[in-house]
Structure formats: structure tokens, C-alpha cells
Amino acid sequence: MDDCIFCQIVDGDVPARVVYEDEDVLAFLDANPLAAGHTLVIPKSHHETLDEVPPEPGASLFAAIHSLTPRIEDAVDADGSNVGFNNGAAAGQEVPHVHAHIVPRFEGDGGNPIHAVAGSPPDLDDDDLDALADDIAAAAGDHTPD
């Protein structure tokens, strides 16, 4: 994707502070960090949202996130981290090339948990929750391991 900033970073046409690279994945520091060590982890191939990522780069992406998160925490002496995706424009995704944010967190840093990202919580009773669980389980059924 010629007009994708993250593809341009993958291609070396835009500079970035790369912290990790393998065949499928690149990780680099966020240009506007929310904390020291704020890192973005991307598949090298262009996919806009998680549902568009094929299984193999998806597995490599998770492996890199899994490996990098504790190493980043160690490198900046963090006490924890928030790890997540803004998945789609409605969720705040601004760069349309799927990317995980690893945001190191520090005791007393004044930030919030991931629960702070959504809007007003919905008013759901037990029946609503049961129905939702059934709907999601049915939708997930084809994709869960045996």
C-alpha cells in the first residue's frame, strides 16, 4: 500500500526507531509515545483490521507481542503494561494498518486501565447477558479449537 505510513516504514521509506524485526513482523517506537517505551507491533503485510489478518502473520504477530512485552517492561523499568489494538475507526484506529500498542505502565503514573476506553456502559440484565453469550458462542463456534 503506497499511501500507508506503516507500509512505508516496513519498506524503509520512512524512518522509525525499530526495536524488533522478523520475517512477518516489525516493532518500532510510537512517534507520539503515551509512555517511555510505547511500542507499535505490526504485521509487515498490509491488513487494515484484525479480521483481515491471515492466520500465519497473525500467529507471528501474537508471538512477537508475547515476547516483546516483558522485554520492553524490563528495558524501561515498568511495573506493567497495557497491550491492545484500536480495531477499526469506531474504536479510534487512525492508521489503517493493524498494529498492537504496548504501553508501559508505572505505579502512580496517573493513567487508567483498559476499561476506560469505551463509552457509557450498557444496561444489561442476566437474560441479556445469557443471550449475548449464546450469540457470541454461536458466532465463534466455527473458529474455536476442538
Cα-flanking dihedrals φ and ψ of residue 112, to 5°?
Answer: -125, 160
Single out the catalytic residue among 99, 101, 115, 143: 99
The reply on whether position 94 binds ligand 5GP by CB under 6 A is yes
Does the active-site annotation cover 99? yes
Q: Which does 41 bind (CB under 5 to 8 A by kind): Zn ion, ligand 5GP, none?
A: none
Furthest C-alpha separation in the chain:
53
Q: Which of 46, 60, 62, 101 binds Zn ion (CB under 5 A)?
A: 46
> Would you put residue 45 in left (φ > 0), alpha (ψ -120 to 50) or beta?
beta
User: With the C-alpha atoms ordered 44, 47, 49, 50, is the resulting torsion angle positive or negative?
Assistant: negative
Residue 1 binds Zn ion (CB under 5 A): yes
User: So which residues are the catalytic ones?
Assistant: 99
Which residues form the interface with ligand 5GP (CB under 6 A)?
5, 14, 16, 28-32, 40, 86, 92-95
